[in-house]
Structure 1
Amino acid sequence: MTKEEKTKQAFEMIEQGVKDVYSSDNFRKYLSCCSKFHSYSLNNTLLILAQKPDATLVAGYNAWQHNFNRHVDKGEKGLMILAPVTSKITQLMDKSDEDGNPVLDENGDPIKEERVINQLRFTTTTVFDISQTSGEPLGTMSRFKTT
């Protein structure tokens, strides 16, 4: 499956999750999930809930190793979430003066200039729930850094 197909699948899961969350039992599960994953976006919270409703703490493969001295158990399947990716692109745009008005040439046509802009898109990445890992006990909540 290509990255684009995975991203499309993730958005389809989010859409289904939004539809499902309106049933009273699912809404309760969703609110419970939000209370556990408050630093995740709505989309990623819905993705986690759709794939592993009993998840309690998720982190990436390397985060489990480096931040928590834990490892992902052999054979565990990760949970797909969305991650923002920013890239710089060059785009031909109308030149503007300091007031935001277009600068025109002698024919009254807008003057074009190349600008480098940040483009935001999303790709999928994988996280694992603590129940899918083994290793040192986590201890207190102050140690939690999942990024």
Structure 2
Amino acid sequence: MANKLYAMEQLTEEVAKDVAASPQEWMRFLNTASRLYKYTFPEQLLIYAQRPEATAVASMEIWNQKMYRWIKKGSKGIALIDNTSGPKTKLRYVFDVQDTYKVRNLGKDPQLWNLPVEGEQLVADYLQEQLSLEDIEGGLAESLHQAAKESMQEWLPDALEELRLDVTGTFLEELDEQNQEVEFRELMTNSVWYVFLNRCGWMHRNIWM
């Protein structure tokens, strides 16, 4: 188990470097992350590395006890690092819905929400009200952009502090702290915006500019 745990820790680091290597690879990762937004960033990295096409992921217990779905024979679990359920770090395993099948007369399908076109303006209006945004043009896309900016405010200082400890070998190393913040803020805002748009189905209905 220790060897497997170490392997997953190494995989997390490797995948983090891989997805940061190019805009295309980063966007491919974000496509997976947008479907699995309830998982942490390290967990999303491991899911992306092992099952990038995953859509609905849960533990065997949840599939069995809440959804009445059994795991298909021969299915391989997605290994995640668990450091929250006890003093020792360990691995836990989750399975994609494609690894399961319904118990006859009892099994449930996971309800994957989607946003129909006719609901876009309602969401845009709701975001403007909740975030106290001024009336803005651009509909859902621009409202989500503003929401992405707002979401950055709380955790950006801590993220920047960590970033500055690990910029060696990146283009940020050449920049002063002010410009590091500008570049990082823009990258993360656009990344969050992309995840929002993708999860709401906007990406499939419009051309990403």
Report if TM-score (shorter chain) is over 0.5.
Answer: yes
Tell me the percent identity.
27
Change (3 A) 1:69 1:86: closer
Q: What secondary structure is seen at the aligned counterpart in 1 of 2:37? A: coil
> Which deviations, in whole Å up to 9, do the C-alpha atoms of 1:83-135 show, x marking residues without a partner?
12455xxxxxxxxxxxxxxxxxxxxxxxxxxxxxxx5x421111110011111
Whether contact under 8 Å (1:83, 1:123) holds in the other structure is: yes
2:111 aligned partner: 140
Alignment of 1:30-49 (within 5 A): 30-49=29-48
Which protein has the bigger helix share? 2
Q: What secondary structure is seen at the aligned counterpart in 1 of 2:74? A: coil
Q: TM-score, normalised by structure 1?
A: 0.67
1:11 aligned partner: 9
Q: Distance in 1 between matches of 2:112 and 2:56?
A: 11
Figure out how many residues of one structure are paired with residues of the other and give that number.
Answer: 108
Q: TM-score, normalised by structure 2?
A: 0.48
Change (3 A) 1:86 1:70: closer
1:58 aligned partner: 57
1:28 aligned partner: 27
Whether contact under 8 Å (1:58, 1:129) holds in the other structure is: yes
Aligned CA RMSD, in angstroms, stands at 1.8
> Which deviations, in whole Å up to 9, do the C-alpha atoms of 1:67-87 show, x marking residues without a partner?
111111001111100112455
Q: Which runs of 5+ in 2 are unaligned?
A: 114-209
1:72 aligned partner: 71
2:131 aligned partner: none
Per-residue deviation, 1:61? 1.1
Change (3 A) 1:80 1:139: closer
Q: Return the structure number with greater relative CO, CA threshold 8 A, min gap 6.
A: 1
Per-residue deviation, 1:50? 0.1
Q: Distance in 1 between matches of 2:35 and 2:110?
A: 16
Q: Distance in 2 between matches of 1:140 and 1:51?
A: 23
Q: Which runs of 5+ in 1 are unaligned?
A: 88-118, 143-147
Per-residue deviation, 1:33? 1.6
1:131 aligned partner: 98
Consecutive aligned runs of 4 or more in structure 1 exceeding 6 Å deviation: none
Which protein has the bigger strand share? 1
Whether contact under 8 Å (2:70, 2:100) holds in the other structure is: yes
